[in-house]
Amino acid sequence: MEQLEIGDRLLEYDVKRSEEASKARIDVGMNSLDVIIPKGRGLDPEKFLKGKLDWVLKKKQKFEEYKEKIPERNFQEGSKLPVLGREREIVIRDQVSHELTEDKIIVSERHMKGSSLKEKVREILKREAKSIVNEKVEKLTESEDLDISKVYVRDQKTKWGSCSSKNNISINWRLILAPEEVLDYVIAHEIAHLENKNHDEDFWRRVENLNSSYREGYDWLENNNHRLIFSKEDYLERV
């Protein structure tokens, strides 16, 4: 770990020599700062970092501001979580299976052994997200001649959705914590990528054709994506 003195503080960073990198770059994370140098290139990492210092400090500041916005969630019985725009209470009941109702996230006490309440709630929401996403994709594409290979619901670290070159669509399960129009927008966005991998005017017209009110979901996601962090502790461990 290297250190760069900036006024009365020290900026810690790692220097990584890469055989794959074609040019030097700086990767800024919530809890990390890496200076990537192509292997064999005689470049001074500290001098390179100093040349990008204003940009690095602004990125670091944005991460700190983002971290402060992440909701503190209390995974206890009686606490609430937003699911598709509706607050739902976490309750534990002696019943055969877990259940999501209009106002409750019901955790089966019989299936609690060996797991925390937080993990069981995550399991319920992931399962529900998978069911809802598949239903929405099928409905949106039933009258379209589109070549979708597979639909995945995943815990993507940096993306809300993606469409691969093989036409596999992936949707982040945490979108279930947003209002429904946000999930609808992301699904329409990825379906539009089946025909157009760019973000040009034709692409956005296609998104609008699939979801005429997509702008509401787009704007919400731009301004409120921090609300979709399921657990602040989990998030900070990953970044």
* Alpha-carbon gap, residue 189 to 196, rounded angstroms: 10
Of the candidates 69, 91, 120, which is a domain's last residue?
Answer: 69
Q: Strand locations in 173-223, DSSP E?
A: none
* Same domain? 220 vs 201: yes
Output the tens digit of pLDDT for each of the chain's 239 residues.
898 988 888 999 999 998 888 899 999 887 789 999 998 888 899 999 999 999 999 999 988 888 889 999 989 999 999 999 999 999 999 999 999 999 999 999 988 888 899 999 999 999 999 999 999 999 988 877 787 889 999 988 778 999 998 999 999 999 999 999 999 999 999 999 999 999 999 999 999 999 999 999 999 999 999 999 998 887 766 65
Neighbours of 8 (CB within 10 A): 5
Within a domain: 134: yes
Query: Cβ-count burial of 147 within 10 angstroms (0-12 exposed, 13-18 middle, 19+ buried)?
Result: exposed
pLDDT of 40 reads 82
* Same domain? 180 vs 229: yes
pLDDT of 102 reads 93
* Alpha-carbon gap, residue 153 to 156, rounded angstroms: 9
Query: In total, how many domains does the chain have?
Result: 2
* Same domain? 6 vs 46: yes
* Same domain? 63 vs 102: no
pTM of the model: 0.80
* Same domain? 33 vs 107: no
Query: Can you tell me which residue has the tokens 């589109």?
Result: 146
pLDDT of 238 reads 60
CATH number at residue 211: 3.30.2010.10
Within a domain: 132: yes
* Same domain? 92 vs 64: no
Of the candidates 69, 92, 124, which is a domain's last residue?
Answer: 69
Cβ-contact 37, 17 below 8 angstroms: yes
* Same domain? 165 vs 196: yes
* Same domain? 58 vs 100: no
pLDDT of 239 reads 57
* Same domain? 45 vs 161: no
Calculate ∠ Cα 198-84-235, nearest 5°: 70
* Same domain? 46 vs 150: no
* Same domain? 142 vs 184: yes
Q: In terms of residue numbers, what domain contains 174?
A: 80-238
